[in-house]
Structure 1
Amino acid sequence: MNILIYSHIALWTIHHAETVEIALKHLAEGDDVYILSCDGDLVSCPANSNHDKSLCLSCKHQTDYTLKEILKNKVHDLRVSLYHDKLTFPEFSSLNELVEFKFNDIPFGELVASQLVDDERDCFFSLDKKQLKVCEMLSNSISLYKHTRQIIKDKKIDKTYVWNGRRSADGPVCYAARDQGVSCEVYISGGKRSTYITLAALKVHDLTANKVLMDKLYEQAIENNGMELVNQEALSFFKTQRYGGANYPGYIHFAQEFKDVPDVINNERKKIVIFTSSYWENFGMSDYRGVCYVDHYDGIKKILREESIFTQNDLIVRWHPNLKTCGDSERKVIDKVIRESSENAIHYPPESNVDSYKLIDIADVVITFGSTMGIEANFYGKPSILLGRSLYEDLGACYQPESHSELVNLLSGKLPPLPKTGSIKYGFYIVNCGQNYFKYLKQVDSWNFTYKNKSLQKINPKTWRQMIKIQIIKSLKLLKLYDIVRYTAISIRGFKN
């Protein structure tokens, strides 16, 4: 078989290790392996969104090192070489308009938006000064799609692997494989050390594909080991969520910050606790949109303004801790919601160290828009209402109204908690979703891998992490200045939309 592995994240060792592991696996099976990597043509990628030249150079050095010292030149080395077609794009008035943009029926707008909102940690910023960057990313993304289709055709590729798949620098490769009629699997870190997940899908967050895999792994585990192990694994997930101590990458835990006890309201009224989400994380993925409200913020505002809800219940809003680093525009939206509803609800802003699990303990009902707190509430025996899309939406663990009026009706009565079967299944899956174990590479710690006692990283891990930290701080400080300079430079070159 001819295998194509697309890797543009050599700077992120944990994910680069997954690329190398897959390559070694197929080499051992006697396949011809092609690794397609970036040589600097991508204008933006997850590990280097602002195309910092020094990071590009480091990435190329790491790739060269891996191919020569780890893979011993046993794979075919391909580099991204993009076309520079002069494509014309509309001037997008908003992120929502960008998300709707398609080219040849491929959602390139979604892919670009997914990268942009990651960079900004914000879903409400203006595109006024980013039009040229958006056009560059769209053009780059379309070119990557065409380039990869040609490679698949010329090299007679039988199967393709792509890391993640939801952004403009990787998603086009998945669509190229699909449109060439070639099998494509996306991959990322698993829920345990030394594991990674592969999915036959266009992105690793694909709801349908993850639901199918969850059912498969759950049924296999029960058949092979019975419910006792499943319960133990699920319990380990919920304990880690609540008390911390996770030793695997890919998940952000805030438990160690939860030090404050919430104010207790001593009355007989029903206590409804609303947990928000980091809305930008799923913004560019169509299968996570909709259901009850236009978006999370629309939902929160309508709930807090509903007289029949706030006059009959005590409302508590716990803003997701991840939002404390959100962009300025999103923060303004949050602050406005808090300001305008402060008489109707108690708000714990993102910076608050209040223990979210103590809030679950005092809650009579928990409302979420897809965060794990919804399924955790079910695990702790609380009625949980889900108002958005989530991997656990079909597990029978949450009430799921389809409209605002349905929600109002639900909250008017007493809700019994639903069975915990769904939360057990979900917890087990998150721990075990990495159905592939590292066989060839050894994981020394989260960001350090070796192959036959040789480090996967070209430079010392501690030094590299410090360099990344400096680059992140530098990028954040220069972000606005960078956009202005880049906008001016491209305009001078006479770039046409």
Structure 2
Amino acid sequence: MKILFYSSHALEANSLAVLLDEAIECLQDANNEVLFVTCSGEARPCDSNPEQSVIRCWECRLSSWLLLSQIEHPNFKHRELSSFNIKGARKNHLSEFDFTSITDLKSITYNNINIGLGVVSSYVSMTRNLEPLMEKANREYFNAALKASAILVELSSNIVELYNPDLVYLFNGRYSSMRPVLEVASNRDLKTCVLECTFSSTREIQRKVKFFNALPHDIDNNSKIIEENWNSWSLASNKEAIAAEFYERRKRGEMASDSVYIGHQDRSALPPNWDNSKRNFVIFNSSEDEFFCVGESFDKYKLFDSQIEGIVYLLKKARNKPDIHYYLRIHPNLKYIKFKYHTALASLLEGYDNITVLPADSAISTYKLLENCEKVFVFGSTVGVEATYWGKPVILLGGAFYLHLNVAYYPKDLSELDELIVEVIECKPRLGALKYALFIFGERGEPFKFINYNYYIKRICGKSLTLPRCYMVLNSMIPYIVLAGVFRMLNCISHLVFKLVKLKRLLVER
């Protein structure tokens, strides 16, 4: 079998190490041959080099070489992306792209391959801004990113034509420096495998997860994987107990496959105006930027174009029902977000007396709200499946990995939602919540076999330095840290100019 691997960058994340570990595993079959392609600067700006620095590119290429030079196998070939530029494609040969909004950007294609989704996904991940002002400097940045993706479309098409792979591997697949490769492979009906990493209780220990012919963020595909994971669980430990531990840990404020968001909360606190004589409904919004640009796999399940629109609809439908009162718990992850999809919430809801808004930094307890409310409304947040586990009926108004697990009521249209608002409804069965938790918290995926992609995490001056352990020399990260430090010093001017000037422009909201 001819297998193509594409690695977009080697910095910060452990993606290169994960891909190499998988490549070596593929080579254990003598019938397999691997072509391992790494970026040589064509895809900038990328997620690890938004400033488009040549120095940053060389640091990335050197980091790749440090690992790739260790691989000696007759069926393993490493090529840089530039070696496939047989037509001399250059970004300055491309015309400017036409767009006036982020919506326009998401739909831009090149050679019938969507390049806009990846560019927007990278931008939103960097800034968390969903509606950037499209002035000259920002248009220049987006055009540079689109042109880089267009070049990646051309070069990955060349690779596929010349190598004719049976299987294509890449990591994550969502961002601008990798999504065009996935789109080209999918457009040619090639089998793809997107790798990701997961962890249960500690970020240091990573496990490799494989997603065939789908992005890791695809709801329908993940639903199948969740069911398969539950049905095939063969470890001696009790799967129900493992799943239950996920919810117990989150309620205690302990790490469980995600950040801890309730550390600042008073576990016994309810809002001062809580009235047990009313029907108290809690709305948990989520970080709208998190799945903003996954694509159709999420968008097709949205009942509303935005969460604000959905919240306003709920309030209007209950406006003439004085016995119903809503509490909006703004996601703690939005605490430092200054964009309108967060800051406009309070002002937009000022005209409604049937809602209490609990800010992202509120000390009111999330779990006390769950314990005392009648029902819960969510747009995809994990607290939705948690609510089901703790015995509360949940109404889901958007895409979520638990959508098909029968843990929440999912209205297909507004008339169904209208009924669910006023009716007294029962909690869904707990089984789906257990399946979801085992998928998230159980030891799914594979530990490294050949290349150590676990993380080395060191706290320095209040910040975390996170590096893949594959760069260790004599069981020490110091040589690589020194090397990285030299490159960062050489690149500091370019980085500061980007951070203090260009990034500030990119953060301006329309």
Asked if these proteins are the same fold (TM beyond 0.5), I'd say yes
Distance 1:456 1:145 in 2: 39
Q: Secondary structure at the match of 1:322?
A: helix
Say whether the 8 Å CA contact 2:282–2:369 is kept in structure 1. yes
Q: How far apart in 2 are the matches of 1:50 and 1:350? A: 31
Say if 2:172 and 2:215, in contact at 8 Å, map to a contact too: yes
Judging changes above 3 Å, is the alpha-carbon distance between structure 1 residues 136 and 478 closer, same or farther for their aligned structure 2 residues?
closer
Q: How far has the Cα of 1:112 moved from its partner?
A: 1.5
Structure-1 residue corresponding to 2:361: 351
Structure 2 residue 420 is matched with structure 1 residue 410? yes
Q: Does 1:396 align with 2:396?
A: no
Larger displacement relative to structure 2 (329-338 or 126-135): 329-338
1:380 to partner: Cα distance: 0.5
The separation in 2 between residues aligned to 1:67 and 1:364, in whole angstroms, is 57
Checking the alignment, whether the CA contact within 8 Å between 1:319 and 1:348 is kept in structure 2 is yes
Residues 321-376 of structure 1, C-alpha deviation per residue, up to 9 Å, x if partnerless?
A: 111233534444334335454x3321122233433222211221111001111111
1:58 is aligned to 59
**CA distance in structure 2 between the aligned counterparts of 1:152 and 1:214, rounded to whole angstroms:** 32
Give the TM-score normalised by structure 1.
Answer: 0.86
Residue 281 of structure 1: aligned partner: 290
Q: How does 1:115-126 map to 2 (within 5 A)?
A: 115-126=122-133
| Cα-to-partner distance string for 1:77-126 (whole Å, 9 max, x where unaligned) | 22223622634455322212222333444332222211111122121222
Query: Which deviations, in whole Å up to 9, do the C-alpha atoms of 1:291-324 show, x marking residues without a partner?
Result: 3211222112222343437733121111111112
Which residue of the partner structure matches residue 49 of structure 2?
Answer: 48
Q: What residue in structure 1 maps to residue 276 of structure 2? A: 267
TM-superposed deviation, 1:162: 0.8
Q: Which residue identity lines up with residue 308 of structure 1 in the other structure? A: R
Structure 2 counterpart SS, 1:439: coil
Q: Tell me, in whole angstroms, the C-alpha distance in 2 between the residues paired with 1:13 and 1:394.
A: 31
**Which residue pairs with 1:303 in the alignment?**
314
Q: Does 1:179 align with 2:203?
A: no
Separation in 1 of the partners of 2:197 and 2:285? 25
The answer to whether the Cα contact below 8 Å between 1:121 and 1:325 also exists between their aligned partners in 2 is no
Q: Quick check: 1:294 aligned with 2:300?
A: no
Match of 1:440 in 2: 450
Query: Greater helix percent: which structure?
Result: 1
Contact 2:2/2:34 (<8 A) preserved: yes
Go from structure 1 to structure 2 and tell me whether the alpha carbon gap of 1:43 and 1:72 turns closer, same or farther (over 3 Å shift): same
SS state at 1:347 partner: strand
Aligned to 2:336: 325
User: Conserved in 2, the CA contact under 8 Å of 1:108 and 1:168?
Assistant: yes
Residues 308 and 408 of structure 1 are in contact (CA less than 8 Å); yes or no, is this contact kept in structure 2?
no
Aligned length, in residue pairs = 479
Deviation at 1:147, TM superposition (A): 0.6
Counterpart amino acid of residue 246 in structure 2:
F
How many Å apart are 1:142 and its aligned residue?
2.1
Corresponding residue for residue 469 of structure 2: 449
Alignment deviations for residues 428-486 of structure 1 (CA, whole Å, 9 cap, x no partner): 11124742232224436564424898569684569969999xx9999699546226999
* TM-score, normalising length: structure 2: 0.84
- Structure 1 residue aligned with 2:464: none
Q: In the alignment, is the contact (CA less than 8 A) between 1:271 and 1:364 conserved in 2?
A: yes
Distance 1:182 1:256, change over 3 A: same
Contact 2:308 2:341 in 1 (8 A): no
> Partners in 1 of 2:321 and 2:171 — Cα distance?
45
Quote the Cα distance in structure 2 between the aligned partners of 1:267 and 1:466.
61
Q: 1:84-483 residue pairs with structure 2 within 5 A?
A: 84=90, 86-88=93-95, 90-129=97-136, 130-192=138-200, 193-221=205-233, 224=234, 229-246=238-255, 251-259=258-266, 261-264=269-272, 265-284=274-293, 285-289=295-299, 290-308=301-319, 311-341=322-352, 343-432=353-442, 434-442=444-452, 443=454, 445=456, 447-450=467-470, 459-460=479-480, 478-479=498-499, 481-482=501-502
Letter in 1 for 2:328: V
Aligned partner of residue 440 in structure 1, secondary structure? coil
* Letter matched to residue 374 of structure 1: G
Q: CA deviation at 1:423?
A: 0.4
Conservation of the 8 A alpha-carbon contact between 2:379 and 2:397: yes
- Aligned-pair identity (%): 22
Which runs of 5 or more structure 2 residues have no equivalent in the other structure?
A: 458-466
CA spacing shift, 1:455–1:338, aligned 2, 3 Å: farther
